[in-house]
Amino acid sequence: MTDRPPNRGMRRRIASAVAALTFTSPAQAATTLGASAAESGRYFGAAVAGNRLSESAYANTLAAEFNSVVAENAMKWDATEPNPGQFNFSGGDQIVNWAQARGMKVRGHTLVWHAQQPSWAQGLTGNNLRNAMNNHITGVANHYEGDVFAWDVVNEAFEWDGSRRQSNLQIQLGNGWIEEAFRTADAADPSARLCYNDYGTDGINAKSTAIYNMVRDFRSRGVPIDCVGFQSHLSAGDNLSSYQANLQRFADLGVDVEITELDVGGSGSGQAATFKTVTDSCMAVSRCTGITVWGVTDKYSWRNDDPLLFDDNYQKKQAYTAVLNSLNEGGGTC
Ligand code: G3I
């Protein structure tokens, strides 16, 4: 298996591994999600809507509990390039600046996706779309170079049965568009980890196996891919019997795995148990570098089934305690 050039991120991974190894005493029982994740060299993040940062309870909870952020919408194509070649980074910059002022990491979401494309891109065909995609990736990744530690380069390109989603990107550009997007992102930001991100991959199934096969092919040919994001939009009681094994098989390909959009519909002990299973799984896979929940509070979730760790009043839920205990129990592993 051809490994990617040692310089691309290898130094960073070695440094973080050494940092984790130098942690000699057992993990202390940290009292926040981010602090506990950091004890094992991981992050614990949240998706952020910039227009909520002016709400003190939102901002205070985010700053206190998390050590990483991702823009829920502000870095998507429709937000960052509303007109061809005319970039607008104000929304993303607001979140980056807020996070950096608090020493928080920033994930990038997402460079290329079939959804939330600006209308001017949706009608493009052939090389016009190809050029637009590459120009977009280059413009955004250039702008955030050094600010974003990992990009969701391509989001949601597969169907449940493992076939390619017949998006405009797939139809107009052919099967090579995903590889092309990763190569373009690598050229634009050689320092960021480059991830493929999808949902419905919460175990070994037709969809996750199709993605696995793509990643294995990319790794064998030196296509620049560093990580796979598992969105993990779940419901309490979902069958997660092969969740950890699935993460591990991707890690065994030589890529990092990240839980990128975790939320669990439900309540009480059932919801807490599902959050615990995901967190335990990440802690058990050394290349699982972190977890991001898809929002700070149920109050502003995209879902209406109270799927997050803080309720509408920013109070910690049973699921919060389950996650913190899992991080503390599994902490200290590198
Ligand atoms: O910005 C406009 C605003 O100007 C307008 O007034 C308002 C009412 O029409 O809409 C606003 O845009 C909304 C946008 O969120 C920003 O709030 C869109 O309608 C709405 O569809 C969009 O929803 C987002 C959704 O992605 C779009 O597919 C959700 O907030 C966001 O949580 C969700 O996140 C996705 C990930 O990116 C990918 N994985 C799945 C996940 C959940 O769908």
Q: Do 26 and 39 form a contact (C-beta atoms < 8 A)? A: no
HSE of 222, CA atoms in CB hemisphere, 13 A: 5
Type of residue at 71 = A
Bridge partners of residue 47, in order along the sequence: 70
Catalytic residue list: 261
Which residue numbers in the chain have pLDDT < 50? Answer: 1-6, 19-25, 331-334
Q: Which residue out of 298, 302, 303, 305 has the highest number of ligand 1 atoms within 8 Å of its CB and is therefore the one to mutate? A: 302
pLDDT for res 19: 46
pLDDT for res 330: 86
CATH topology of domain 34-331: TIM Barrel (3.20.20)
pLDDT for res 23: 45
Q: Which residue out of 73, 77, 119 has the highest number of ligand 1 atoms within 8 Å of its CB and is therefore the one to mutate? A: 73
Could you read off the pLDDT of 19-54 as tens digits, one per residue? 444 444 455 689 999 999 999 999 999 999 999 999
Task: Indicate the domain borders of the chain.
Answer: 34-331
pLDDT for res 293: 99
pLDDT for res 43: 98
Type of residue at 159 = E
Angle (CA) 152-237-272 rounded to 5° is 75
pLDDT for res 21: 47
Interval between CA 74 and ligand 1 midpoint (Å): 10
Answer whether 51 contacts ligand 1 (Cβ < 6 A). no
Helix (H, G, I), strand (E, B) or coil at 121: helix
Answer whether 52 contacts ligand 1 (Cβ < 6 A). no
Answer whether 205 contacts ligand 1 (Cβ < 6 A). no
| Ligand 1 atom 22 nearest Cα | 73
Could you read off the pLDDT of 115-146 as tens digits, one per residue? 999 999 999 999 999 999 999 999 999 999 99
Answer whether 300 contacts ligand 1 (Cβ < 6 A). no
Interval between CA 40 and ligand 1 midpoint (Å): 33
E strands, 27-143, are: 43-48, 68-71, 105-113
